[in-house]
């Protein structure tokens, strides 16, 4: 299951549009090298890590924990 959703890039003005979702924290990743954009929901407790390799986005890592 993929957590990140591909976003459409408007090629006329090279912009991305995404609504603010009440009650959610979203991370938008815009990679101008590969010409891709994605939206991913941040984990509730933990880390949402954007990993790059050779100047390009390689993966989004989710490290979750639970509060005691």
Task: Tell me the pLDDT tens digit for each residue of 34-50.
Answer: 999 999 999 999 999 99
Q: Does 68 score more than 90 pLDDT?
A: no
Return the pLDDT at 67: 83
3-state secondary structure of 51: strand
Sign of CA dihedral 24, 48, 6, 3: negative
What is the value of pTM for the model shown? 0.83
CA distance 66 to 45: 6
Starting at the earlier edge strand, list the strands of the sheet with 5-6.
5-6, 36-41, 26-31
Return the pLDDT at 2: 84
Residues 7-65 have pLDDT tens digits of 999 999 999 999 999 999 999 999 999 999 999 999 999 999 999 999 999 999 999 99
């Amino acid at each position: 299951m993929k957590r990140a959703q591909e976003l459409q890039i408007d090629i006329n003005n090279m912009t991305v549009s995404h609504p603010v979702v009440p009650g959610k924290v979203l991370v938008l990743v815009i990679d101008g090298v590969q010409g891709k954009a994605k939206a991913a929901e941040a984990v509730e407790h933990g880390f949402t890590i954007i990993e790059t390799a050779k100047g390009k986005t390689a993966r989004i890592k989710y490290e979750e924990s639970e509060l005691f």
